[in-house]
Amino acid sequence: MAKLEPIEALLAPSLRVSRPVAACARCRSAKIKCDGKLPACSACERSGKGTSCTSANDDFARGKERSYVAALEGAAQRLQRKIERARAEAAIQGTSSSTHRPPKHRRISGTRRREASDVDELVSDFGFLTVNATSRDFHGFTSTMSFAKLLLSAASRRELPPTETRGLPPRYAIMPMINHYLENIYVLLPFFSETELMSSLSRIYNESASISSSVTPLDVWNVRLILAISYASSSQQKDDENDKTALEHMAAARSLANYVLHPGSITGVQALLLLVEYALVDPAHFDSWYLVGMASRLVVDLGLHCEPPPETKISKNMLDLRRRIFHCTYALDRLVSMSLDRAFSFTDDSAPDVQLPHLTTENVPSHLFLRSIRPSLFLFDIRRVQSSFYQTTRWSSRTQWPLATAATYASSVSNDIHAWYSTIPPNLSQRHLMLFNLERIYCQILVVSPNQRVPANSMTDLNKELVFEYSAQYADLFQPITQDVTWHAYLTYADICRAKYVGQKFVEVMWSDFDRLLKTSHTLREGSPLAHNPPLENAERATMFLRKIVEVLDFARHRWAMPEMREQFEQESAVLLSRLKSRQGEAKPRQYTNTSDTGVDPNMYGIASNSVYASASQYAYDGAPMMQLPSPPVQQESNAQGEMKPQQMLTPPEEYRVPANYGMPQGSLPRRSYEFFGGRS
């Protein structure tokens, strides 16, 4: 029977390395292998030089394990001292030498090159450092480096501006922003308990005698971060009042990072996920991809990506909380990674059996005043479909698929998307219905767009038309949201990046078959709301799409002072836009008005007309507003009798509803079978 490790060793693990950080001075000069044994290496002991071995110093004394973090700190300090000495010598030489003397080319000796190579090798070994999840924190030998400091240093893009630290406002003043977060963001990402948040507020304001009055740093961190997220998501432009208030709360919370950001506890992961949410609404200061990657690593280290064994005694509330944290981390990781076109932190195969959390707050008298997390379950469902497709087509391999294989796989994934969308009940809030509708269209764009497996020159004509139609629908719905201040709570940096992706794929497909896409009339299904509207020329529709995407990307310039996304897309689409204008000049001119910018009725989903920017778009057509999204195009071909025969589509009809015994289509590629939450409820 294997010997069990004592609990003390698990609670206080050491950061040991499999080989020494550096050889001692004697072994280095003799160019022999040093085993790094303490207090003296074996080579020095055999030669009787054990007392003079450089390993026997205070940094590597007995009981103090070696650490790559400490070694890097020491190397950085030595290099900093060398830089300071070099600058001092250069300053002295500069004052004594003539200013007209031509500069001499610097020659690097072999010793310097070897030293630089050793430093590079040492820095590259930093990737071997692992953080044990059962450790509350780790420190270097100088005791100045902590997990929180290392995390924030790596994830910070720009230093927070200096602000005056003030206490929390009165509770009545912050409750509207707390409710704003709970109603708009928490219901989609419920990785903590709402009752725990209310308990933290009671402890901070000392309102209940039944609750302990001892306020913890975690209580203040949670409240500060939630307020920062709420104010940042309510901001309309950079440096407005809401933006300044959000930065004040974030700066106050950052001073508590060393107390709450720990890798060995669930509360530490929750605190980190709040920071991820803030990074999504303040990308100018924090890198959300790095933060969510670290959160995913901690989730895996804590074992939250697996269901606990049946013999484990765990309460239902704790089990449900574990599932919430995992799925929220999973959803954030997939959202950020796909929007930035980067790899996932972990694959689907590494966490296949984690069940969705239960709706414990439904129909329970003690939980009648708590928010329902039901919308989050639909979000978790569609993230699984997106993740599987993205992993298969983007990162599994770059081998191009045969046309039949690509069509089979795209059709099966499209069926998954429609099966998921059919499970969404109509009694959800109009805003959630709108968000899920955008997710559906975005997923369809992912499926039919060119990728590594199916490049643009290998796409079918139908898929190219579907990219055209779905992209136009996406821009029609998403562009008014960016100009409506009441929707800014749902707008994140990842959403703007996704709009840029849609625009880039549209440009790529347009260049692959420019003339045919402009000349072909994309026939709409009978009964579609657009069938009775005056048709627009495809050149005009493409021009409107490009300008709407530019307006969407301009949101990043107004909100976060990040004009790079708009400038890059304008450069990428400038030639196409010029050619589309030339084509419009050749066609018969049409009359347009400024009554509406989209064919979708804004009031359908509660989109108000108050715009952030001074001028609205001027590219809408004079037609009746649609009451629902247009259907995908259908190519038609004639049979022997001359009648038009509809061609089979890659996507099922809009009125598609998942049957009770829905079976996944058998494709030529291995796929997962999804049991959507909506189909089980």
Separation of alpha carbons 92 and 110, rounded Å: 26
Rg of the chain on CA atoms, in Å:
30
| The pair of three-digit structure tokens given for residue 588, joined into one six-digit string | 């018969």
For the segment 158-176, the average pLDDT, to the nearest whole number, is 89
Separation of alpha carbons 389 and 395, rounded Å: 10
Least confident of 110-114, 187-191, 472-476, 478-482: 110-114
- In residues, how long is the chain? 681
Q: Does residue 356 carry a pLDDT above 90? A: no
Ordered DSSP codes for 640-678 = TTS-EEEPPPSS--TT----TT------SS--PPP--HH
Least confident of 159-163, 204-208, 247-251, 675-679: 675-679
Separation of alpha carbons 49 and 399, rounded Å: 59
Confidence of residue 30 (pLDDT cuts 50, 70, 90): confident
For the segment 37-65, the average pLDDT, to the nearest whole number, is 67
For residues 616 and 594, is the Cβ–Cβ distance under 8 A?
A: yes
Least confident of 321-330, 494-503, 639-648: 639-648
Confidence of residue 96 (pLDDT cuts 50, 70, 90): low
* pLDDT (0 to 100) of residue 648: 35
Separation of alpha carbons 36 and 56, rounded Å: 10
* pLDDT tens string 529-575: 444 445 568 889 999 999 999 999 999 999 999 999 999 999 999 99
CA distances 290 to 247, 267, 280, 304, 341, Å, are 20, 19, 12, 19, 13
Separation of alpha carbons 448 and 402, rounded Å: 15
Query: Which one is the CATH code of 25-55: 2.60.40.10, 3.40.50.11290, 3.50.50.60, 4.10.240.10?
Result: 4.10.240.10
* pLDDT (0 to 100) of residue 667: 34
CA 194, 200, 201: angle at the middle one, nearest 5? Answer: 95
Q: Does residue 135 carry a pLDDT above 80? A: no
* pLDDT (0 to 100) of residue 33: 83
Helices (H) and strands (E) counted in the chain, each on its own, are 23, 2
Confidence of residue 143 (pLDDT cuts 50, 70, 90): low
* pLDDT tens string 485-532: 888 888 999 999 999 999 999 999 999 989 888 886 654 444 444 444
Strand partners, 600: 626
Confidence of residue 326 (pLDDT cuts 50, 70, 90): very high
Q: Does residue 355 carry a pLDDT above 70? A: yes
What letters, b where the CB count within 10 A reaches 16 and e where it falls short, cover 103-131?
eeeeeeeeeeeeeeeeeeebeeeeeeeeb
* pLDDT (0 to 100) of residue 555: 93
* pLDDT (0 to 100) of residue 80: 83
What is the average pLDDT score of the chain?
76
Q: Which residue has the higher pLDDT, 88 or 230?
A: 230
Q: Does residue 592 carry a pLDDT above 90? A: no
pTM: 0.70
* pLDDT (0 to 100) of residue 620: 34
Ordered DSSP codes for 358-423 = P-TTTT-GGGTTSPP-HHHHHHHHHHHHHHHHHIIIIIS--PPPPHHHHHHHHHHHHHHHHHHHHT
Strand partners, 268: none
* pLDDT (0 to 100) of residue 329: 96
Give the closest residue to 374 by CA, choosing from 30, 19, 677: 677
Separation of alpha carbons 353 and 614, rounded Å: 50
One-letter amino acid identity for 229?
Answer: I
Cβ count within 10 A of residue 480: 25
Q: Does residue 77 carry a pLDDT above 50? A: yes
> Which residues, including other chains, have CB under 8 Å from residue 133's CB and lie 6 or more apart?
263, 264, 298, 301, 302, 303
Separation of alpha carbons 177 and 304, rounded Å: 30
* pLDDT (0 to 100) of residue 469: 92
Separation of alpha carbons 199 and 203, rounded Å: 6
* pLDDT (0 to 100) of residue 50: 78
DSSP code of residue 143: S
Give the closest residue to 150 by CA, choosing from 257, 75, 224: 257
CA distances 10 to 5, 13, 15, 262, 309, Å, are 7, 6, 12, 16, 19
Least confident of 38-47, 147-156, 328-337, 509-518: 38-47
* pLDDT (0 to 100) of residue 400: 86
Q: Does residue 24 carry a pLDDT above 50? A: yes
* pLDDT (0 to 100) of residue 364: 45
Express as a percent the part of the chain with pLDDT over 70.
67
Confidence of residue 4 (pLDDT cuts 50, 70, 90): low
Q: Which residue has the higher pLDDT, 134 or 328?
A: 328
Q: Does residue 461 carry a pLDDT above 50? A: yes
* pLDDT (0 to 100) of residue 45: 84
* pLDDT tens string 421-449: 999 988 988 999 999 999 999 999 999 99
Q: Does residue 633 carry a pLDDT above 80? A: no
Q: Does residue 211 carry a pLDDT above 60? A: no
Q: Does residue 373 carry a pLDDT above 80? A: yes
Least confident of 129-143, 277-291, 374-388: 129-143
